[in-house]
Structures are given as C-alpha cells and as structure tokens.
C-alpha cells in the first residue's frame, strides 16, 4: 500500500497541532509509559529535584522559563538512557498563605488568631493551599512539561513534616542549633520576621522618612552634647548607646547662634551647617557660624557617658547603658559621624552593643515594640501607637525637652514587605538558629564540588554569599507551618528535641497523625528532671525555607522510608531555578546537606535570569506591561515560547526583556521553514511512489553510500550537530545548543532543500537517494529536537513514522520495548540519536561553508550593479586565497554547478594561486597596539612602506613570517594586520565583493548580450508560472500547460524567440512542458492568470489543465469530436476511431492530435 500524505495542510496551525499532542500524551499516559519502559530496561536513574512553588497564585513567565529548562534537561536525560522521576511538589506553609487568610478574615493582630483558635485559622489556610493546583496542571501540561502531578508531594503532608523534624533533630544533636536573639527584617503587617532574601524582594525608591539630629548631654558636663542623626525617630526611646568611628576626627564646637556646644565628626559639620557643602563656601566663613573649642580622635570618646533621652529603661537590671562605643561601621558619608544605638532595632547596633557588654548574649534586650509594630507599656508616652505613626510625636516631645537639634526629611531606598506592601522594620526577635558560621568552610568546600551554568554565579555570587554567611534564623512566630519540635520547661533548664512521630509517642504517650500546631501544641512531655512537671512545646514554627531546603529528604519521607533508595540517589544530578534563588533555595539546600551529610545536595545546576517586561521593568499585573502567557501560547504555540525563552540570554542568568515579536519570529524563521521542508519531503515521497510505482522504504545504507556532494555535506552536518548537542548537553549549556539547532534548521531548509528542489522532484534513483537523505535528516533532527520542542517534534514524527517498516508493528509494539522509530507511539519513547563517526566529513562541511560565502558574495556583487538574479551573467570568478587545498578542490570539482545555478551564471572560474594577484591584493597595516611603543617616530615610515608593498611582496613576507620594512624588521604574524581586498575596484566590466574574513573574493562579469537577456526573460517566466500554481492552490503532482500573450518587445527579440532559444530550460523545469503562445491553447478553462512585466513588455501568462491539442489543418468535425475526449484517457501512439457526418475516421496521436500543446508545437516547429 502506497503512502498518503495529501492531508498535510499547507497552512498548519501549530497551537492546534499541539493540542492534539496533549491528547495523545494523555491517552498514552506518556510520562509513566516512558518511565516504566526505562525501569523495564534497567536504565540508570537520573535524579532531579523540583523546587516546590506556592499554588496560591498562577504560573507566570518565570515559572514557564524555569519549567522549560527543567523539562528540556530531564527529557534529554530520559531519551539518553535514564530513568527520570519527575515529581511535582507544592510549598504549602508560610507567609504567602497566611497573608491571604489575614486579608480574607481582616486579621491585623496576632491576638485575633489566638482568639479564633489556631485550629480554625489553620483550617482556613489549608483550604487555599491547593486552590490553583488544577490551573497549574493545565498550564504546565499545555507547555509540554512532563511532570507527575498524581504522585506529588506537599510540604504540609505529615510524612514531609516528620522528615523536617528529623532534619532539625539531627542538627540539634550535632550541636548546630541554639536559641538567641537576632535583629531581622520584620513585617508588622504579617507579625513575623522575614529572611534577608525576602526583605530584598520589594525595595522602594524615593521612600520619604524623617531625618533628625538629636542631642545627648554629657553626664560630666551637661553643657556639652554629643549629637547623632537618625531616620528612625521611633527607635530613639530604645537608645542604649552611641557609636563613633575609632579613627575619625571629632570636634567640639559652639554654635554662635544658639550658644549650644556640640561634639560631632569634623567631616560632618555640614550636617548642622549645610552651607559648608556649597560651592561658594570658604573656610574663613565658619567663624560666623561656630567656634572650634577642641578636637578628639574617635577612640578618645569611648566610655563617655551621657544622659538618656527617655527614662524608660533606667531601672533595667544590671544596665551599663548610655555610653559611647566605637566600631568601624560608622562612616562620614552622612549624618554626624555619631550613630545612635538601639540594639533591639538594628543589626549593627545589636552586634556593637553585644561586643561592648551593653547587652548580653541570651539576655533580655529592651524592646518596647510588639509583633504588630505597636509600642508596649514599657514606652508609656506612646503606648498603643504604631511606631511609624509616632515619629512626629516623639520629635515633638524631644523638641519640648530641648533635645531636637534638627528635623528634616530624606528620600531613600527602603524595604517593604513583599506580601503586605507595608514598610519593614528591623527588630530583635527570639529565634532558633542553625550554626552556619561554624560549618562555613565545609559549605565552601562542597560548593566546589558542584557544577553551575553559568559558572560565574557559583564562583562569585554564591561563593561570596557562603563566605559571608551568618547563622540562619529558622524559626517564625506564626501558625501555619511545621512546628519546631522542641519541648521545654518554663525556665528552659530542660529541653527536649523530638525527631519523629514515634519518638513523640514514646515521650508523651500520645499518637498523632498530623503535626500542625493545633495537634502538637496540646501535647505535653513529662519532665525527667523535675518529676510532676511537664515540658511544653515552644511557640515557633519553621521558616518555609527550612522546609524547602529539606525537600530532598522529606519528599521521600527519609529516613523513615526509602532510605536505601534515597542514599543511592543523593546528591541530585540536576536542579534549576532563577538567579534569585542563590540566596534562597540553592543556599538552604547547601546548608542542610552539608550539615547533615557533608555533601552538596546537587551536582549540576542551571541558573536562569529574570524575565522582564519589554520596557525592562518588572512584569506587573497592575501595569499590564506584558502579554498573558496563555494568550501567547494559544496564538503561537508552546514550542515557540519555549524556544524563544531558551534561545535567549536568560539561560545564561542574564535578564530578558520579553518581546512577543520574538515568539512570532521563532514561528516565522524556524518552525515554518522546518515545516515546509517536512511537507516538501512527504509530498515528494508520495509523488515518487506514484510515479516510480514502488513503496518508499527508509534505507540508512543508501544515505551513507551517497556520493552526491550536497548529500555528503548534509549527512556530515547532521552527524556533527548530533555530536555537538550531546557534547553541550552533557555540560548543560542550553545557550550554545539552541543557536546551533536553529542554524541547522535554517541550513536544511534554505540550502539543502532549495539546492535540491528539482532533483528531489525526479523519479530516478538519484531522486530517491536525495529523498532518503532528506528523510533520514528530518527524522534525526526531529528526535534530536524532541527534548527542546516536544510538540512539533511529535507532530513530524507521527507522519515520518508511517514510512518505517516497523510501523506495521505499532498495534502490539507501540508501547513496549525496544523503542523503534515507526512502531513506538511517541517520539519521546525513542533514544536521541548517537552520532556516527564514519559519516563525519569536515572537508565537506568546510567546503559548504565556502560555497555559502561564494553565493552570498555573488549576490552582493549583483546588488552593487542592480543586476537581478533572474538575469544570467556570462561568468564569475572565485578567489580562495586562504582555503586549504583539499577544500578548494572539493568546492571546485563538486560544488561549482551549485554556484552557477544559485547565481545564474553560465560559467564559474576558480583562480589559481599563480593568477590571484590579478584579482586580489593583500592590504597591510601596522598593528598600532603592538608596534606603537616599539617604533615610536619610525611608525609613519613603516606604515607607508607596508601600504606600498605589492601583493607578491606581502604574500612572501607573510609566508616567511617576517621581513624588513622601512629599515625595521617586522614580525608579520604578530605585528601586522593583513586582509585580502578586491584588486579591480572601479573596473567597468567586473564587479567584486570580499568576505569580511578576507578568505573569499568573488567577481562577476556584468557585460550584457542578447542571449543573456533572453535567458533572463525565461527565468522570469518560470518564476511567474510558479507563482500562478501557488495562487491556484495546485499540488505538486498537478499537471498544467502554460500560455502567454505578449504586448510589445524588448532587446533580444520577442518573448517567443526567447522561449524558443531556451526551450530546454523549460523542458527540464516543467517535465517537458514549454510555455506557448495563447493561440495554441485548446482548453478554455484557466486555473490562474496574471499580467506581468517581462523585460519592457507586458505579458499575460495563464496556466490551464492539460487537454488534447488538435493539429493545424484538422477539420471542424474531427476538432469538435476531439474536444469531447478527456486527455487522461489517452496514451501516446493511440488512434481514435469516430464517425463524422456518416464517414468513419481514424485520428492518430502525433498526427491529427497531441497529448499536449508542447508536443504539437514541437511537431509544427513552433519551438
């Protein structure tokens, strides 16, 4: 049975074809089928971790990008002989969920949650965590990403949470956990601290805050005050110390206007007297403003005591507050050079005060602000006020006390909560810490064991982050999360860390099936130290980053289940996420795996950059500055979006400004040409089978044995591509793979198919060989591209497979091993092809590159003289001065005909080395960077001498390596810049073009003669006939006859004379058909016609269905009879019998009638 591909539409809808693929994969249960076949074969496992996203929102371009990278790499792994488990995961706990519930329920204070009950609150949280999982699954499947949603994991699963407990318990037992205070970014709207990573997500420029200068009178001399500057007046009630830089110069000055005496940094006098920073300021003017009384080094001020601003903490037990400290973090860039210290609200403040003994590690810190940013009763004057709203009142109170020196405003960059969009504060919170600093050396060592793409993110950004890492606060004072499994006595003199559900049962006697707060908070553990008392669980839950960092273990419920399986697969072979995760998931993975196993959690990592809006700004739903991903997919297809993303700088961790036009460009420049090459093949296979009368059977032997130069090139190029893809994918360099794949598809369609179009339309053995090569290449590329463009590859494969002998076995063998092209039901069940070293041919590949350069330069030369490619030229000259001899010979002997055909040249001449000086000249210039210092004043003379060298002199000097020029010996390899130029510039007859590499020079003969003009006209006729066929919607196999009617004539005679002299050209092009004058047309039916310009004439060209052509002189009766005969029923040599007006007649083919008008024109010597 012959093949049938007539159903392949000329106007393919890629989105529609993709929808069909989604249905196919669903019917196959394709991911599970792929993995089951891999398990059955015993393929080694390739381990992949998917960072869990929150399902409280819909996927955006960032998710699509990361998902595409993950899918491409894991598909490639699966199609190169690996079993790849791809479990979906969901981040269920933490602020994103709680914030939405707080908005829904109008919760603004922690007490409201406690009043409603943690169980009720958590029930609300649980209800929304999977709200969008259905939409996620639909979108992800539509993108072509294969990931298992049925066997997913959730961070709220009891098994996951139990493994998180085990992770913490292991760290606790290793002495890597402690409790302490930490000043952290704090969201008063959410009532919880944030990580530094989260704090950096939402900085706002031009935030306006107060900027005040406050005085601190000395205890020993109340007439003298230290002055400090701050942008957070609300922290002043908690002031415990002042800090100076030990090495800065400080001065004591008297304000001549107010009489006040102040101490401040000398460099910062302009803070109080801004005019000192003006351009017109002169030092002698200062005597009008202040009087200098004394000067000090910063270290001299250390220990000075001052009077507190407020009395709130005067009775704090054992305090040594309100004295001057020193630290080098103080700068002279702004303020007064004296920094007020509120250790409860500043990270540096806490560190400096702790080091100076103002506060003690583990001890209480004066902190009169609650979790909602409200002043407590410890700050009586402002109790119940939100801190930011109290700024003005605090300043007013200080002013009334005579302590406010200056009040102003400042615009600066300030962090806001990424969820509530409210200003963050910095606040000391009691936290549980992992001792990251203690294992820093191991973190750095394990980082060296990993492979990152791009490498600089690992070697600079991530390494620096690890090097400067501080202890990690892993606790949060929230409700919806994994409870920290620590039970303690009220005095904390007895602490128990629980590592499993079973251990909790053993210690408490209570069995649980859920580990959230509403369950475990009620459980008490009898004290072993103080019988009769109990230990209660602490209040905190884990930061959700601790959970995501525990994902490798918790998704498998390690070590309670799957221990052997996990240990054999750890670390993961591959992970991928965005650049922002260097301080997020990548970091938490590394910290926990190092602390637990002294290993990295992963071996290979791809870091992607950020996808921005087209204007370079962050994508914003509010601003609507980017196209909806769903609409883009529905318009262009998921494959186009996938290829656009991974063929961009974003896979090198650089930002991408998303442009919808870029997605359209993939469709136009890659997919449509690829599709056209595929359709061309399938149509010609069907045509070949019909005309040759046999079945087309793919035969790799015929492909490998072809001696056709373009076949050899394409086969070698394909094998080189396969080799390159394997090489680059093993190094995870998607950014090098995609450009090469795109370039190959362009060469396949724009070069191989175009150069072979006429050959592939034949019926002989050479035509079949060409079809074999094209088929083999398209199948290889289809399978090779399938990890990158899964949909279009599947579409092509479903057609290409029908030609394979094993296609007959598809009913029973489509879903079983071994996978084979043809029988296997999906391209994604096949192995990505391995390259065949015996088919690599660098000479052929390099020769074809030379051919491409020659053709481009030939077109450039034509454009210079405005000569259309349709107009033949008599001759062209090619100079290849730098090309290796074997490549030159390959081009000259095997590719010259292609040069002539593409450039419409009757002859091509390759110039020998001995003749090249007639056509090219070596231009020489000194390399100024190298020779400038060496020659000095001699440079001018040497440059003139170099420019004046003849071609032969320059050629010899380059060959020798050095020569004396202008009296100086010059190294021609390192000190001279050389390039070949066209030597006949300005010649009237010859026009030339030089490649930018200087290795190819082409010249064309522009002289015109009648024969060339005639041939050019005929080429235009051919082009217009092809256009008419296309406009009429004709298929390749549809036969037509062409006719013309000319008005006027041009140089070279009439069009009839032109066609007659070039009849052979038409015979070859149109399978024996030659365009004829309209009066020779028999059929009145016209498929299509058009009036076109041929030379200087208007010509009407029409195409018509073939019909019987009646010889001149045949009578009206026989002519009327022949008009009723269908030419499809006739054969060459046939005689037709008929009765005309009672007389029997016999009308013979070739005498009274002909099978077509061309046969008649030849017989009657019209052509």
- The DSSP 8-state label assigned to residue 269 in this structure reads G
Do β-strands 572-578 and 602-608 pair in parallel, antiparallel, or remain unpaired? Answer: parallel
- The DSSP 8-state label assigned to residue 512 in this structure reads -
* CA distance to 22, 77, 713, per residue, from 719 (Å): 30, 19, 10
Decide if 465 is catalytic. no
- Which pair of tokens denotes residue 888? 């030159």
Residue among 790, 783, 460, 464 nearest 653 (CA): 460
First CA to last CA distance, the chain: 41
Following DSSP, what letter does each residue of 94-120 receive, concatenated?
Answer: SHHHHHHHHHHHT--SHHHHHHH-HHH
Decide if 407 is catalytic. no
In the set 50, 91, 349, 1159, the catalytic residue is 91
Q: CB–CB of 494/488 below 8 Å?
A: yes
Decide if 91 is catalytic. yes
Distance of alpha carbon 976 from alpha carbon 927, whole angstroms: 5
Distance of alpha carbon 105 from alpha carbon 419, whole angstroms: 16
Decide if 585 is catalytic. yes
- Which pair of tokens denotes residue 701? 């032997």
CB atoms near residue 709 (< 10 Å): 20
Backbone angles phi, psi at 327, to 5 degrees: -165, 150
Task: Quote the strand ranges of 455-545, DSSP E.
Answer: 472-473, 475-476, 486-488, 495-497, 524-526, 534-537, 541-542
The sign one gets for the Cα dihedral 398, 399, 401, 405 is positive
Distance of alpha carbon 527 from alpha carbon 496, whole angstroms: 10
Distance of alpha carbon 1118 from alpha carbon 198, whole angstroms: 94
> Can you tell me whether residue 308 is helix, strand or coil?
coil
In the set 581, 719, 804, 846, the catalytic residue is 581
Q: CB–CB of 122/518 below 8 Å?
A: yes
Give kind and range of the element (H or E) at residue 345: none
Decide if 856 is catalytic. no
Decide if 621 is catalytic. yes
Backbone angles phi, psi at 1047, to 5 degrees: -120, 115
In the set 146, 545, 713, 919, the catalytic residue is 545
- The DSSP 8-state label assigned to residue 202 in this structure reads -
Residue among 485, 492, 240 nearest 362 (CA): 492
Distance of alpha carbon 1167 from alpha carbon 1153, whole angstroms: 17
Residue among 1035, 1043, 1036, 1062 nearest 1167 (CA): 1062
Distance of alpha carbon 451 from alpha carbon 458, whole angstroms: 8
DSSP H helical ranges for 867-966: 885-890, 896-903, 928-935, 939-948, 951-960
Judge if the upstream peptide bond of residue 603 is cis by omega within 30 degrees of 0. no
In the set 25, 432, 480, 585, the catalytic residue is 585
Beta bridge partners of 180: 431
Query: Cα angle vertex 140, ends 743, 738, to 5°?
Result: 10
In the set 287, 621, 956, 1151, the catalytic residue is 621
In the set 25, 52, 573, 629, the catalytic residue is 52
In the set 618, 944, 1068, 1098, the catalytic residue is 618
> Can you tell me whether residue 613 is helix, strand or coil?
coil
- Residues with a catalytic annotation lie at 52, 91, 545, 581, 585, 618, 621
């Amino acid at each position: 049975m012959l093949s049938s591909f007539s159903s392949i539409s000329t106007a393919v809808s890629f989105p529609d074809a993709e929808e069909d693929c989604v249905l196919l994969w669903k019917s196959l249960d394709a991911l599970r089928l792929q993995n089951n076949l891999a398990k059955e074969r015993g393929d080694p496992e390739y381990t992949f971790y998917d960072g869990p996203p929150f399902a409280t929102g819909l996927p955006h371009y960032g998710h699509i990008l990361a998902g595409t990278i993950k899918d491409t790499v894991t598909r490639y792994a699966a199609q190169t002989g690996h079993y790849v488990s791809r479990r979906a995961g969901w981040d269920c706990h933490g602020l994103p969920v709680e914030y939405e519930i707080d908005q829904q329920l109008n919760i603004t204070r922690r007490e409201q949650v406690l009043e409603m009950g943690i169980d009720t609150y958590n029930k609300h949280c649980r209800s929304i965590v999977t709200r969008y999982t259905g939409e996620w699954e639909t979108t992800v499947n539509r993108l072509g990403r294969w990931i298992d949603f049925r066997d997913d994991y959730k961070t709220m699963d009891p098994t996951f949470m139990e493994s998180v407990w085990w992770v913490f318990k292991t760290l606790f037992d290793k002495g890597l956990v402690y409790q302490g205070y930490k000043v952290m970014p704090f969201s008063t709207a959410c009532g919880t601290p944030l990580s530094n990573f989260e704090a950096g997500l939402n900085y706002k420029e031009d935030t306006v805050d107060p900027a005040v200068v406050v005085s601190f009178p000395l205890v020993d001399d109340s007439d003298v005050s230290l002055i400090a500057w701050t942008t957070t007046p609300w922290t002043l009630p908690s002031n415990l110390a002042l800090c100076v830089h030990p090495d800065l110069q400080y001065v004591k000055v008297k304000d001549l206007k107010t009489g006040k005496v102040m101490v401040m940094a000398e460099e910062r006098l302009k803070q109080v007297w801004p005019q000192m920073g003006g351009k017109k300021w002169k030092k002698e003017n200062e005597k009008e403003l202040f009087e200098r009384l004394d000067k000090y080094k910063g270290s001299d001020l250390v220990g000075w005591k001052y009077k507190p601003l407020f009395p709130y903490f005067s009775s704090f037990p054992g305090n040594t507050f309100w004295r001057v400290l020193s630290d080098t973090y103080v700068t002279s860039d702004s303020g007064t050079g004296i920094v007020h210290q509120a250790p409860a609200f500043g990270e540096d403040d806490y560190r400096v005060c702790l080091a100076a003994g103002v506060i003690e590690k583990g001890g209480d810190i004066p902190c009169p602000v609650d979790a909602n940013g409200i002043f407590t009763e410890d700050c009586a004057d402002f109790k119940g006020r939100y801190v930011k709203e109290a700024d003005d009142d605090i300043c007013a109170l200080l002013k009334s006390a005579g302590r406010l020196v200056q009040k102003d405003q400042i615009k600066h960059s300030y962090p806001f909560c990424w969820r509530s969009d409210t200003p963050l504060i910095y606040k000391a919170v009691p936290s549980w810490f992992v001792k990251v600093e203690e294992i820093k050396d191991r973190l750095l060592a394990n980082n060296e064991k990993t492979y990152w793409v791009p490498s600089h993110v690992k070697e600079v950004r991530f390494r620096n982050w690890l090097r400067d890492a501080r202890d990690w606060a892993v606790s949060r004072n929230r409700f919806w999360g994994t409870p920290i499994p620590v039970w303690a006595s009220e005095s904390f003199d007895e602490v128990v860390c629980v590592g499993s559900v079973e251990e909790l049962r053993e210690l408490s006697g209570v069995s649980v099936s859920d580990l959230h707060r509403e369950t475990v908070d009620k459980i008490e553990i009898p004290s072993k130290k103080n019988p009769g008392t109990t230990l209660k669980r602490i209040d905190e839950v884990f930061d959700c980053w601790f959970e995501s960092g525990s994902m490798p273990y918790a998704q498998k419920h390690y070590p309670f289940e799957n221990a052997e399986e996990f240990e054999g697969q750890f670390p993961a072979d591959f992970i991928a996420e965005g650049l922002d995760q260097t301080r997020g998931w990548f970091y938490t993975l590394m910290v926990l795996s190092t602390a637990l196993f002294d290993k990295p959690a992963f071996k290979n990592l791809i870091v992607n950059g950020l996808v921005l809006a087209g204007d370079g700004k962050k994508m914003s739903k509010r601003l609507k500055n980017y196209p909806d991903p769903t609409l883009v997919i529905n318009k262009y297809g998921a494959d186009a979006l996938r290829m656009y993303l991974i063929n961009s700088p974003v896979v090198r961790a650089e930002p991408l400004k998303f442009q919808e036009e870029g997605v359209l460009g993939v469709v136009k420049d890659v997919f449509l040409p690829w599709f056209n090459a595929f359709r061309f093949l399938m149509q010609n296979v069907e045509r070949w089978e019909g005309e040759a009368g046999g079945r087309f059977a793919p035969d790799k032997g015929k492909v490998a044995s072809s001696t056709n130069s373009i076949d050899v090139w394409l086969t070698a190029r394909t094998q080189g591509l396969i080799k390159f893809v394997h090489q680059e994918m093993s190094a995870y360099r998607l950014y090098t793979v995609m450009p090469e794949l795109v370039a190959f598809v362009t060469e396949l369609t724009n070069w191989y198919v175009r150069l072979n179009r006429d050959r592939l339309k034949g019926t002989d053995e050479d035509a079949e060989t060409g079809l074999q090569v094209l088929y083999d290449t398209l199948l290889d590329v289809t399978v090779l591209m399938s990890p990158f463009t899964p949909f279009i590859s599947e579409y092509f494969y479903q057609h290409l497979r029908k030609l394979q002998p094993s296609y007959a076995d598809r009913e029973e063998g489509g879903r079983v091993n071994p996978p084979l092209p043809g029988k296997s039901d999906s391209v994604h069940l096949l192995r990505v092809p391995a390259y065949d070293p015996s088919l690599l041919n660098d000479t052929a590949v390099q020769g074809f590159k030379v051919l491409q350069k020659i053709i481009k330069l030939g077109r450039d030369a034509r454009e210079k003289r405005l000569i259309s490619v349709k107009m033949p030229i008599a001759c062209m000259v090619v100079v290849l001065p730098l090309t290796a001899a074997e490549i030159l010979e390959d081009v000259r002997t095997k590719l010259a005909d292609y040069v002539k055909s593409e450039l419409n040249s009757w002859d091509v001449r390759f110039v020998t080395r001995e003749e090249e000086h007639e056509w090219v000249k070596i231009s020489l210039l000194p390399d100024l960077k190298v020779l400038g210092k060496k020659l000095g004043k001699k440079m001018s003379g040497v440059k003139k001498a170099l420019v004046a060298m003849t071609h032969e002199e320059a050629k010899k000097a380059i060959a020798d390596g050095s020569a004396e020029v202008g009296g100086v010996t010059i190294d021609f390899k390192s000190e001279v810049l050389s390039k070949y130029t066209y030597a006949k510039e300005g010649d009237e007859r010859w026009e030339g073009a030089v490649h930018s590499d200087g290795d190819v020079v082409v010249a064309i003969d522009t002289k015109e003669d009648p024969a060339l003009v005639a041939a050019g006209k005929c080429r235009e006729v051919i082009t217009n006939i092809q256009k008419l066929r296309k406009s009429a919607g004709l298929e390749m196999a549809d036969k037509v006859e062409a006719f013309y009617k000319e008005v006027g004539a041009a140089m070279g005679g009439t069009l009839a004379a032109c066609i007659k002299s070039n009849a052979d050209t038409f015979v070859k092009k149109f399978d024996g058909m030659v365009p004829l004058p309209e009066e020779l047309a028999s059929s009145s039916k016209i498929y299509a016609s058009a009036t076109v310009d041929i030379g200087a004439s208007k010509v009407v060209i029409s195409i018509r269905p073939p019909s019987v052509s009646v010889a001149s002189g045949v009578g009206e009766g026989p002519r009327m009879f022949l008009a009723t005969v269908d030419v499809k029923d006739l054969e060459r040599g046939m005689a037709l019998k008929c009765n005309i007006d009672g007389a029997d007649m016999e009308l013979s083919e070739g005498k009274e009638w002909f099978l077509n008008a061309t046969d008649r024109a030849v017989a009657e010597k019209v052509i």
